[in-house]
């Protein structure tokens, strides 16, 4: 029996948190994962890190930069990502790399910004 691809909607409320995703391209993401014990999904261009963030409202989508170069996106409000086990049109399977918990749990967007800043990753201004 063939199974179809799965899409996950970001910005969905899970308990008192919002489900968000760091969509990081290239190899710069290895710096972020070096000290985090969180699982991630290997994608065609990089990785997805699943987040649960406590906020009063759904956080805004943002672009991520490292040293002025775009390295990915923070996906939340109204976005969709390809789920684990799905197959990209190029034949790449989105695979889980187990390194700890499924979700990186954060108390706020401020905490996420601070943690990413430790690795030189910044959010877009708008």
Three-state SS letters, the chain: CCCCCCEEECCCEECCEEEEEEEEECCCHHHHHCCCCECEEECCCEEEEEEEECCCCCCCCEEEEECCEEEEEEECCCCEEECCCCECCCCCECEEECCCECCEEECCHHHHHHHHHCCCEEECCC
The token pair at 3 is: 């199974």
For the purposes of burial, counting CB atoms within 10 Å of the CB of 54, is it exposed (0-12), middle (13-18) or buried (19 or more)? middle
Q: Taking the CA of residue 117 as centre, how many other CA atoms within 13 Å lie in the half-sphere pointing to its CB?
A: 8
State residue 118's pLDDT score: 86
Residue 1 inside a domain? The answer is: no
Identify the segments of the chain with pLDDT beneath 70: 1-3, 27-35, 126
Share of the chain above pLDDT 70, in %: 89
pLDDT tens for residues 79-103? 988 888 888 888 888 888 887 778 8
Residue 86 inside a domain? The answer is: yes
Residue 2 inside a domain? The answer is: no
The number of folded domains in the chain is: 1
Residue 61 inside a domain? The answer is: yes
State residue 1's pLDDT score: 37
State residue 34's pLDDT score: 64
How far is residue 31's CA from residue 26's CA, in Å, rounded to a whole number? 11
Say what the pTM is: 0.87
Residue 33 inside a domain? The answer is: yes
State residue 120's pLDDT score: 85
Mean pLDDT of the chain, nearest integer? 85
Residue 38 inside a domain? The answer is: yes
State residue 87's pLDDT score: 87
Give the structural domain span for 77.
7-123
Residue 107 inside a domain? The answer is: yes
CATH code at position 59: 3.30.2250.10
């Amino acid at each position: 029996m063939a199974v179809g691809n799965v899409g996950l909607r970001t910005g969905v409320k899970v308990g008192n948190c919002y489900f968000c995703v760091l969509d990081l391209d290239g190899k710069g993401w290895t710096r972020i994962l070096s000290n985090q014990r969180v699982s991630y999904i290997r994608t065609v261009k990089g990785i997805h890190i699943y987040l649960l963030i406590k906020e009063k409202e759904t956080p805004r989508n943002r672009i991520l930069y490292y040293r002025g170069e775009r390295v990915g996106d923070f996906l939340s409000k109204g976005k969709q990502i390809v789920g684990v086990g799905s197959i990209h049109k190029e034949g790449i399977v989105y695979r889980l790399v187990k390194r700890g918990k499924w979700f990186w749990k954060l108390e706020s967007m401020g905490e996420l910004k601070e943690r990413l800043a430790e690795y030189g990753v910044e959010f877009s201004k708008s």
